[in-house]
Amino acid sequence: MKRKKLRHTEYYNMQHSLDNLYSQSVDGHNFYDLMNVIRSNENIRLAYRNIKRNTGSKTAGSNKMTIEDIKHLSVEEVIDKVQNMLQSYNPEKVRRVFIPKANGKTRPLGIPTIWDRILQQCMLQVLEPICEARFYKHSYGFRPNRSTHHAKARLESLINLSGLYHCIDVDIKGFFDNVNHSKLLKQMWSLGIKDKTVLSITSKLLKAEVEGEGVPTKGTPQGGILSPLLSNIVLNELDWWVSNQWESFKSHYPYKYTGGKTQALKRSNLKECYIVRYADDCVPRKQTKLRLLCCT
């Protein structure tokens, strides 16, 4: 966790709670009552602080409000507002914005209102440590303390140490716009997020009406605070599926050394394959027809 973010988390007395969520998730616990943490005063204070320091807080949503329009409120008033929203949540319309891409096309962004962003930040802070504990270790996009530099270092390590040198670049076309809502909620459930109120709020966020377009039936809007985490939840199954074909393959024999297992796998009919993913981009790599590295 970046030093400034860690300092804020400790200042608002949330670090111990978030560490506990991570540890319990590592141990395979299921979480049925997350709302108490999400709606806690400390979590809302931290969310408000994180949103205020985000440059995107000055971008208006569909109601034309930015962070500047609520700064006159006391912290207690902000807490009351968010807690009331969480009791019977209905998101406001999402503002549609198109930004240019390098290839001349445009990328559609969905900008929630400032209050919806604060609420999403409250949820992100609690859900992220649970998911981080179960995410594949070589996924690098939209994750704390990870970047393209880490993905590049992993690729170079596989090239230099494993002798893999053929790459297949994979990009999932229209990924964010085609996420299946029902499938996503089931994937959250399988990660141990079994608080039905949390799942209900997530479902409502996904179906928030987009200005000029109506209610979406699929996809997660780029521009939402929670969307990057949700995208990693969707692709986590792909990460583990590829990894289980070779790197994380479970053998019946308990090998004392990793090298022994690797040599046994090479004598099998399995294809040597690794995946390195950053968001919805991936690159597989191979040395022979039997050796493949997949990177996103």
Q: How far apart are CA 148 and CA 155, in angstroms?
A: 11
Report whether pLDDT(255) > 70. yes
Q: How far apart are CA 258 and CA 252, in angstroms?
A: 14
Residue 97 is given by DSSP the state E
- The helices-and-strands tally (H runs, E runs) of the chain is 11, 7
Query: What's the rounded mean pLDDT across residues 214-223?
Result: 93
Name every residue whose Cβ is closer than 8 Å to that of residue 254 and which is 6 or more positions away in sequence: none
How do residues 68-110 score in pLDDT, each as one tens digit? 999 999 999 999 999 999 999 999 999 999 998 888 888 889 9
Identify the pLDDT of residue 285: 55
How do residues 170-218 score in pLDDT, each as one tens digit? 888 889 999 999 999 999 999 999 999 999 999 999 999 999 999 999 9
Name every residue whose Cβ is closer than 8 Å to that of residue 67 and which is 6 or more positions away in sequence: 51, 52, 57, 58, 114
Report whether pLDDT(286) > 70. no
Q: How far apart are CA 151 and CA 9, in angstroms?
A: 27
Query: What's the rounded mean pLDDT across residues 222-235?
Result: 95
> Could you count the other beta carbons within 10 Å of the beta carbon of residue 74?
8
**Percent of the chain that is helix, strand, coil (3-state, to 5):** 50, 15, 40
DSSP class per residue in 16-40: HHHHHHHHHHHTT--BS--HHHHTS
Extract the tokens encoding 227: 């969307």
Q: How far apart are CA 197 and CA 284, in angstroms?
A: 39
**Closest to 126 measured CA to CA, from 34, 205, 203:** 34
CB–CB of 170/283 below 8 Å? Answer: yes
Extract the tokens encoding 204: 């409502």
Report whether pLDDT(65) > 60. yes
Query: What's the rounded mean pLDDT across residues 210-233?
Result: 94
Confidence band for 3, pLDDT divided at 50, 70 and 90: low
Confidence band for 283, pLDDT divided at 50, 70 and 90: low
How do residues 34-45 score in pLDDT, each as one tens digit? 999 999 999 999
Confidence band for 4, pLDDT divided at 50, 70 and 90: low
Residue 161: its H or E element:
helix 148-162
> Range with the lowest mean pLDDT among 53-67, 81-95, 161-175, 226-240?
161-175
Q: Which residues pair with 168 in a beta bridge?
A: 294
Report whether pLDDT(21) > 90. yes
Q: Calculate the average pLDDT of the chain.
A: 89
Confidence band for 289, pLDDT divided at 50, 70 and 90: very low
User: SS3 for 94?
Assistant: strand
